[in-house]
Structure 1
Amino acid sequence: MSIPLHPAPPPPHQGNDSPPAKTNALAIAAFVSSFIVGMTGVVLGHIALHQIKTTREGGRWLAIAALVIGYSSTAIGVYFITAILSASG
């Protein structure tokens, strides 16, 4: 019985060779705009989530992040406006 000097080569790759899913452009726009105008990020984020659901594109987490940032910044803005108006009145 002899011992092989070289290990056997690894088996060929049998995974999915398709290119990765394209990121939804509206999800990117929603994420960027949520830092500038919160409600724009919210609207675009909801539209992007619907598109991602129907087209199976990537970018779901970008759209969700845009919603979280947009809703949070809107809530903070409403809080500050309410505080300013109640303090001056």
Structure 2
Amino acid sequence: MAQPPYDPYGGGYGQDPYAQQPSVQHHYYGGGAPVAVQNNGMAVASMVLGLIGIVFCGFTSILAIIFGHVAQSQIKRTGEGGAGMATAGLVLGYIMTGIWVLAWIFYLGLWAAVVGSSAGTTY
């Protein structure tokens, strides 16, 4: 049996070498589009309140701690997203609360020293 002659352009016999190839269509069945996990609102609130805690003298940091603990328990129970934001809110809340407690202790101690030293002098 004889082989057909060699075609250097890669085209088959009887085919147009410049013809457009048919496009491939992919069909995805059973499941549809992937569903995005919704973040917990308390986790978002905890992180935001922890971030702005430095501006509001630590008062929002206390709320960040409360919301962070509530968010973590809700995320464990419901499987929502936002565990990282809840943890970030807790960390920021504890850090800002600690910083502001130390600042208030220093401030009140300074005032006590100034008032105490002025009360002891007589003119």
Could you say which structure has the higher helix fraction?
Answer: 1
Residue type matched to 1:20 in 2? Answer: A
Count of residue pairs the alignment pairs up: 89
Structure 2 distance, partners of 1:62, 1:41, is 11
Shift of 1:17: 4.7
- How do 1:9-88 and structure 2 match up within 5 A? 17-34=33-50, 35-36=52-53, 37-88=60-111
Runs of 4+ in 1 over 4 A off after TM superposition: none
Structure 2 distance, partners of 1:86, 1:29, is 33
Structure 2 distance, partners of 1:80, 1:25, is 31
Shift of 1:53: 0.5
* Structure number with larger C-alpha Rg: 2
Q: Which has the higher contact order (CA 8 A, sep 6+)?
A: 1
Residue type matched to 2:35 in 1? Answer: P
Stretches of structure 2 lacking an aligned partner (at least 5 in a row) = 1-23, 54-59, 114-123
Give the match's secondary structure for 2:65: helix
TM-score, length-scaled by structure 2: 0.58
Q: Residue by residue, what CA displacement relative to the aligned partner does 1:34-66 show, whole Å, maximum 9, x if unpaired?
A: 224100000000000000011000000000000
Stretches of structure 1 lacking an aligned partner (at least 5 in a row) = 1-8
